[in-house]
Amino acid sequence: MTDAAGEVQRLLRPDLRGRTAYGAPQLDVPVCLNTNENSYPVPDVVVKAILDALEDDIAGLNRYPDREFTRLRSALAAYLEKQAGEVFTPEQIWAGNGSNEVLSHIVQAFGGFGRTALGFTPSYSMHPIICETLGTRWIDGAREQGTFGLAPDSAAQQAATHDPSIVFLSSPNNPTGTALPFDVIGAVLGAAPNAVVVVDEAYAEFARPGTRSALSLVAEHPRLVVTRTMSKAFAFAGGRLGYLVAAPEVVDALRLVRLPYHLSTPTQTIARVALEHADLMLGTVEAIKEQRDRLVRELAELGGTPLESDSNFVLFGGLRDEKATWQALLDDGVLVRDVGIPHHLRVTAGTPEETAAFLRAMAALAPTHLAQPTGDVAS
């Protein structure tokens, strides 16, 4: 360790010493299937509309943006009515630079020193990182061995035991891909009377037919928060716009912790214009779902054990050594994600060509990298 590094460690907040930062590799490879982005570019019509709208904004950049992002909130409400069939007022909606920021606002407002948050591992790795870096103690709740499922009774019992200030549920869950049994949400709300219950629905638009959204419960549960993002199905990860829906009082509390003017004028504008073109922006979702189902099918045929997915990615097991497979795929120009689960990797469903490139590479590796061909699909 250099002197400067040692000095920084000494000066750093003690609970941050020795930690490593979130770091999904950003590599320049032909087939990038590691961060669950939408592989399709923003359609030309939307590019044009965004550029036109931005032109009006630029001269006004001498002024701070609308702190309450009023027009964007209305656009998000209109989108949710259209996409999910749920009606919300702008006062029930909050947004940030990605849903990561929105999640950090929740933790700043409802967590903090002396408080705990509960999540069910494996789940989205940023939930514990956001909590712990903001001084909230993280509790790793358990899922079922093997299937990574979460039953209402088990979730409720763990929530009751720990009496947390925040509970994180993810549906569909990342990295497992599957949606949560809907009853888990009500069970956790009942079992954790002192908690804000967050349902992270980053991948909701990819869910299989019949999957219910927690949005339908917001009206009756003032402690429920549903987070969503434009980064995934909406093909707008670089636009950095995440949002949540909750009771107006919860949303109002988030104003205590956000930094003033956190959403820049261009961010508000590009997100609003993209939302006005929701049909076009979501135009690739069905094609991506087809590639996802193809991944599940063909990985099973190769002898892997993919989990059923409601997202735009698939977690698959059966690998002898996931790190060796990750490197071998990368050597072949395909970047997937090692999510830290032994014998498993996660792959995003891309364009048909990207998916084919991954499957081709995997087929070549299968004889030596897959433990034993079972052809099972874990549910």
- Which residues in this chain contact ligand PMP in the complex, by CB under 6 A? 36, 98-100, 124, 170, 174, 200, 202, 229, 231, 237, 242
Minimal distance, residue 202 CB to ligand PMP, in Å: 4
Beta partners for residue 306, in sequence order: 316
Residue whose tokens read 């087929």: 363
Residue with nearest beta carbon to ligand PMP: 98
In the block, tokens 């001498």 appear at 62
End-to-end CA distance of the chain: 46
Beta pairing class for 224-229 and 242-245: antiparallel
Phi-psi region of 291 (alpha: psi -120 to 50; beta: other; left: phi over 0): alpha
For ligand PMP, give the closer residue by CB, 213 or 303.
Answer: 213
Minimum Å gap between C-beta 4 and ligand PMP is 31
Question: Which of residues 208 and 373 has its CB atom nearest to ligand PMP in the complex?
Answer: 208
Element (H, E) at 335: strand 334-335
Structure tokens at 184: 């888990």
340 phi-psi bin (left φ>0, alpha ψ -120 to 50, beta other): left
Pick the closer one to ligand PMP by CB: 124 or 358.
124
* The pair of three-digit structure tokens given for residue 325, joined into one six-digit string: 């497979």
Cα 325 to Cα 317: distance, rounded to the nearest angstrom: 11
**Cβ of residue 171: shortest distance to ligand PMP, in angstroms?**
9
Least distance CB 94 / ligand PMP (angstroms): 13
Cβ proximity to ligand PMP, 100 vs 268, nearer residue: 100
Shortest reach from residue 104's CB to ligand PMP, in Å: 10
State in angstroms the smallest separation of the CB of 369 from ligand PMP.
Answer: 26
**110 versus 236: smaller Cβ distance to ligand PMP:** 236
Q: Which is nearer to ligand PMP, 236 or 316 (CB)?
A: 236
Q: Evaluate whether 233 touches 205 at the Cβ level (below 8 Å).
A: yes
